[in-house]
Amino acid sequence: MIEVKNVEKSFQDGDQMRQILFGINAKFYDGKVNLIIGQSGSGKTVLVKNLVGLFKPDSGEILYDGRDITKLDRKAMKELRKEIGMLFQGSALFDSETVMGNVMFPLKMFSKMSTGEQRERAQFCIDRVNLSGSESKYPSELSGGMQKRCAIARAIALNPKYLFCDEPNSGLDPKTSLVIDDLLYDITHEFGITTIINTHDMNSVMGIGENIVFINKGHVGWIGNKDEIYDVDNDDLNNFVYATDLFADVRKYRLEHGYKPTRLALQK
């Protein structure tokens, strides 16, 4: 489990300091798909970058199964990183490597496996994300969805305990998005990974959100799951969730059939 306690983060903005995160408290559970949602500019990407150690918070604690990464030395942090997989918004595949090369890369750098074993493990990951037959293709020869699947295969190659995904569905059509969501959901449960997905795709939220943390203007606005999100009394969350007609209709239907949220912020 990853636990975030009172995390604050500011950046220099001209002569002033601009605070992005204000006392964030949240828990991300093992074997569950944890979503961080919020509008663009709400601070969710900054939170994820703090979680993975790309940024250091100004104050607060980030505990990976009790290990506070803000206090870990370089060596311990390096060890911890071997337990982390990350799927980037733009996939971040290495252009000069094939699909097989990309998936084998973390194995080459960190495992003690022989080349044959590395290839076997990489093939397993490639098969798992349904990319069989594309092993010798370069990233530029892959579609957006295939690139994402290759990035997932690379992220799980070292059998990580924690998997971070930054906007995994960005730039993908709805059908491919569902494929990626299902894949992330299945992998999370199959391998018992703590998966944290940074998204504002409501289809993902409603489809796979087992633990949802809503970030609003740098604060935690709400924590719950996909079954609770329809009936929440929170203007900011409702404005975010029901910004699309589709989910406004779902909410209307639920209201007409006996579900009674305490208040509607945006009712059409």
Partner 1 sequence: MLMLRSIGIPDKWREFFKRYMGEIYKLGIDSVPLILIVSLFIGALCTLLIKLNISNPLLPRYTVGLTTREIILLEFSSSILCLILSGKIGSNIASEIGTMRVTEQIDALDIMGINSANYLIMPKIAGLITIMPFLVIICMATSLFGGYLICVITNIIDTDTYIYGIQTLFIEWYVWFALIKSLFFAFIISSISSFYGYTVKGGSIEVGKASTDAVVMSNIMILLTDVLLTKLLMM
The contact set with partner 1 (CB under 8 A) reads 52-54, 77-82, 84, 86, 88-90, 92-95, 106, 108-110, 164
If the CB atoms of residues 94 and 253 are measured against partner 1, the closer one turns out to be 94
If the CB atoms of residues 126 and 229 are measured against partner 1, the closer one turns out to be 126
User: What's the closest the beta carbon of residue 86 comes to partner 1, in angstroms?
Assistant: 5
- The residue behind tokens 């929440």 is 232
| Burial class (CB within 10 angstroms; exposed 0-12, middle 13-18, buried 19+) of 78 | exposed
If the CB atoms of residues 82 and 254 are measured against partner 1, the closer one turns out to be 82
User: What's the closest the beta carbon of residue 220 comes to partner 1, in angstroms?
Assistant: 24
If the CB atoms of residues 137 and 219 are measured against partner 1, the closer one turns out to be 137
User: What's the closest the beta carbon of residue 240 comes to partner 1, in angstroms?
Assistant: 26
- Rounded Cα gap, residues 71 and 79, in angstroms: 14
If the CB atoms of residues 75 and 257 are measured against partner 1, the closer one turns out to be 75
- Rounded Cα gap, residues 213 and 67, in angstroms: 21
Q: By C-alpha distance, which of 226, 194, 231, 192 is closest to 210?
A: 226
Q: By C-alpha distance, which of 257, 247, 35 is closest to 267?
A: 247
If the CB atoms of residues 84 and 179 are measured against partner 1, the closer one turns out to be 84
User: What's the closest the beta carbon of residue 222 comes to partner 1, in angstroms?
Assistant: 28
User: What's the closest the beta carbon of residue 77 comes to partner 1, in angstroms?
Assistant: 8
The CA-atom distances, in angstroms, between 179 and each of 61, 123, 234 are 34, 20, 31
The CA-atom distances, in angstroms, between 263 and each of 37, 57, 212, 247, 259 are 21, 35, 20, 16, 12
The greatest distance separating any two alpha carbons of the chain, rounded to the nearest whole angstrom, comes to 61
